[in-house]
Structure 1
Amino acid sequence: MSHPNHANALKVMISEQVERNYAEIADLYRTLHRYPELPFREYATSARLAEALEALGYDVTRGVGGTGVVALMRQGSGPTVMLRGDMDALPIQEQTGLEYASQETVEAAAGECVPVMHACGHDLHSSCLVGAAAIMASLRNSWRGVLMLVCQPAEEVLGGAKAMLSDGLYERFPRPDIILGQHNTPALAGTVGHASGRTMSASTSLAVTIHGTGGHAAKPAQAVDPVVIAAYVVTRLQTIVAREISPSDAIVVTVGKLQAGTQSNIIPDRAELEINVRSFDDHLHADVLASIRRIVRCECEASGTPQPPEFRVLANTITLNNDVAHTAKVRHAHADYFGDEALFIRPPISGSEDFPYFGDARAGGFDGDDIPYVYWFIGSTAEEQWRNAPGDSRKEKLRHLPMPHSPYYAPGQAATIKAGMAALTTAALAYLSATDA
């Protein structure tokens, strides 16, 4: 254990640096929020972050995995600690009414013009990462090792982490000993939530094409109707959770898209479905996906389709499984800084992240053993808004608060930004501190 006087002195230094850097980080946050960019198009965002990190004295590499940024600061021998922040936005029309609200629109893949908004707080994450980088640079004489900062693209499509890994993240840069990350959540600003073990769900979005034989609606016997097949598929998919999965396992199978045809008197030649699966067990997750493919193929065969169905994975990620021992260590560091009263236990959520690819050697496609990681949550709701939300418990209040991916979601409270900067810094120093553990 470090000496109490030293720990208290370090806490004071971190707090002073948070206040000293807050105004600049808040300006960065507002700029990133005003000018959001979609996944793998974060050109201006990544440039701003790279420039900010270079100005702090970090060795910065751009264009990793497309638009990703990696920044390093070396302070003698010691462990390598990786801090990760994502930076992409969503195709949502902002309705927060903020002075710095996004007015951005871009051309989407299909050619249509779509609005863009930071509705999940990735601008907050990357701003806090730069804030922590500034604090760590100012305290460089207090720690030893390698600090590795990763600004990741395309989390919203669950593609950025694997893109950076495929681009040689752990070959071109030091392999981390511990990976740390955070996400904002509707909770009182200034509080920090932790979860051990399975924390966020695995997720797969699967596109399915059912081929039929088109024709006139007056002569259905001369056609193979993919609409009817799709209807049977949607109904039959419900039996996976109801009849193939144990009631003790949490699985979600949702058909979020079903499109076919152009008008009522035409039997179309195909139907398109998009299916989303979420679970907290990667092996069970694979079984459910196999069941989906089996059901779709069998329904197509039963109806005599002219060719087999087609399957395409649109997005995929594994379960986020926080290392138990390291989560306890990070929580202890946060308790020392924030106080136990500012911490809460975060139950597992069915939201998903591609963050765990950085730690899972098999799924992430890198050599060697898995790398432990810890992922926590920072409160994003202003005190007055939290106090006025109906209900006494956090669960009750959440029903009345804007959530991530809402056009009204605005997590950039001063208390949230400051907590995010401090949470990353104190967690990193738990591993990089020059004092004996």
Structure 2
Amino acid sequence: MSFSKYLFLFLFTSIVLPSGAQPTARDKEVQAFVEQSYGKLFSLYQTLHAAPELSFQEKNTAATIAAQLKTAGFAVTENMGGYGVVGILKNGAGPTVLVRTDLDGLPVLEESNLPYASKATGKADAGKEVPVMHACGHDMHMTVFTGVAQTLAKFKKNWSGTVILIGQPAEERSGGAKAMLKDGLFTKFPEPDYCLALHNHASIPAGQVGYTEGNIMANVDAVEITVRGLGDHGAMPQNTKDPVVLASQIVMALQTIVSRETSPLQPAVVTVGSIHGGTSYNIIPDEVKLQLTLRSYSDEVRHNTIASIKRICKGLAEGAGIPQDRLPVVTVRDQFNPFTYNNINLTKRLTQSFVRVLGKENVLETPPSMVGEDFAFYGRTEAKIPISLYWLGTVDPKKLAESKQTGKAFPTLHSSNFAPLPEPTIKTGVQTMSASVMDLLAPKK
């Protein structure tokens, strides 16, 4: 997931729902089954955590998930849109529900000191070997996903319809959802009536979940700017067109896009996450490279932000006397994620399932954030399928309380120290997602 680790510290409010919703006999049976299954699920979690793979390189991870689905009785298709996995379980007439997990890890060196910490490495795009870690918790997603597959297969008497469980590659860098759709996810297999997913949350206590109706995550764009100049000796700047100075001016000017060109009522983010230029203290280089992430919640703001970046770069370069053939090059990478919109009616139905299974005190309303997710693409096809993603609490409640008391921050998503509390996180994820699917597929009386 394209997540910023600084955007997860929210204030939550409990939902106001009838307190009379009690777990059903089925819920209690599922809970007992999940308790019984936990040991093997935790073992799987450790295995997945220790062996992450980068986006579009998830060969072994996909094989592990495919094997789990086959064991649970699903008909499995592999290598969809890369290393994507599709599992189908048909159980009579009824709706079709899709549940997605992501498969990939991040180029992060793990520093959690867990006994099952990752020591894995992978090849970055340029061929450089880099450390790899499940710093966004996709190993937790896959473990819950496996538990859901086992639960749905075990309790087939309680639902009717078709379940599609997909393991999606390349969520972190974006592209996996689009690749699976392009490869025929909704044409080669039954088109779903609903698409569901969950994601770790690094500020919600383990044992709780969070929901958001409507907008939950933002548009995401990755932009590269190559600031070009005319380099020379650092002692003779008069002979140069210094791209370091120009890049610095651009960085500062970009801040006005949000503060002075975007309505205060419209959320937007322009962050320069990387700036690189030069080779030595006494050499003015020929170019400097910037990498930006852009976030928004409307097409208008998105397009205006990109246009403004191009205008600012061109205007400042011309003002600095940069020749026309050396003006900055602005490239919008093919990594766009549209904003994720949780269908309100579907989300309300899921929330009712959560409250019944966990109790309303463990179901939290969470505000939208500026992080991004390519899960949004499953709701952007011509069919306009209702989708909903919810948050799975992962934090040790004691550590969360300590953090609030001392003000000391704890590791968040994409951190080298991110370490979800496996129990009860895994159990909570399996119980809530299984209940959601079975409620959507409940036989009509």
Find the partner of 2:220 among 203, 228, 236: 203
Residues 1:251 and 2:271 aligned together: no
Q: How does 1:363-378 map to 2 (within 5 A)?
A: 368-378=382-392
Query: Unaligned stretches of 5+ in structure 1?
Result: 362-367
Cα drift, residue 210 of structure 1: 2.1
Aligned residue identity for 1:16: A
Q: How does 1:171-210 map to 2 (within 5 A)?
A: 171-186=187-202, 187-210=204-227
% identical aligned pairs: 37
Q: What is the TM-score when the length of structure 1 is the normalising length? A: 0.92
Does the 8 Å contact 1:381/1:413 carry over to 2? no
Aligned residue identity for 1:30: Q
Does the 8 Å contact 2:174/2:374 carry over to 1? yes
Find the partner of 2:160 among 138, 144, 150: 144
Residues 1:168 and 2:184 aligned together: yes
Find the partner of 2:134 among 107, 118, 121: 118
Residues 1:424 and 2:438 aligned together: no
Separation of aligned partners in 2, 1:282 and 1:26? 42
Cα drift, residue 7 of structure 1: 6.8
Separation of aligned partners in 2, 1:358 and 1:369? 9
Q: 1:61 to 1:259 in 2, by over 3 A?
A: same
Does the 8 Å contact 1:282/1:319 carry over to 2? no
Does the 8 Å contact 1:124/1:412 carry over to 2? no
Q: 1:44 to 1:216 in 2, by over 3 A?
A: same
Q: 1:321 to 1:433 in 2, by over 3 A?
A: same
Separation of aligned partners in 2, 1:43 and 1:297? 43
Does the 8 Å contact 2:44/2:143 carry over to 1? yes
Separation of aligned partners in 2, 1:123 and 1:272? 33
Once the two structures are superposed, residues 122-147 of structure 1 have per-residue CA deviations (whole angstroms, 9 ceiling, x without a partner) of 00001100100100001112211110
Which sits farther off after the overlay, 152-161 or 257-266? Answer: 257-266
Does the 8 Å contact 2:42/2:422 carry over to 1? no
Give the structure 2 partner of residue 157 of structure 1: 173
Q: The residue matched to 2:390 in structure 1 has which SS?
A: strand
Residues 1:383 and 2:397 aligned together: yes
Residues 1:100 and 2:116 aligned together: yes
Give the structure 2 partner of residue 82 of structure 1: 98
Does the 8 Å contact 2:22/2:357 carry over to 1? no
Q: How does 1:235-250 map to 2 (within 5 A)?
A: 235-250=252-267
Q: 1:310 to 1:161 in 2, by over 3 A?
A: same
Cα drift, residue 99 of structure 1: 1.2
Does the 8 Å contact 2:23/2:357 carry over to 1? no
Give the structure 2 partner of residue 134 of structure 1: 150
Find the partner of 1:434 among 417, 437, 443: 443
Which sits farther off after the overlay, 6-15 or 88-97? Answer: 6-15
Does the 8 Å contact 1:382/1:413 carry over to 2? no
Cα drift, residue 247 of structure 1: 1.6
Once the two structures are superposed, residues 200-221 of structure 1 have per-residue CA deviations (whole angstroms, 9 ceiling, x without a partner) of 1221110111222233344444
Residues 1:24 and 2:40 aligned together: yes
Q: The residue matched to 1:316 in structure 2 has which SS?
A: coil
Cα drift, residue 378 of structure 1: 1.1
Cα drift, residue 115 of structure 1: 1.4
Give the structure 1 partner of residue 3 of structure 2: none
- Equivalenced residue count is 422
Q: How does 1:326-405 map to 2 (within 5 A)?
A: 326-361=346-381, 368-391=382-405, 400-405=409-414
Aligned residue identity for 2:117: A
Separation of aligned partners in 2, 1:32 and 1:282? 37
Give the structure 1 partner of residue 247 of structure 2: 230
Aligned residue identity for 1:374: S
Give the structure 2 partner of residue 365 of structure 1: none
Aligned residue identity for 1:427: S
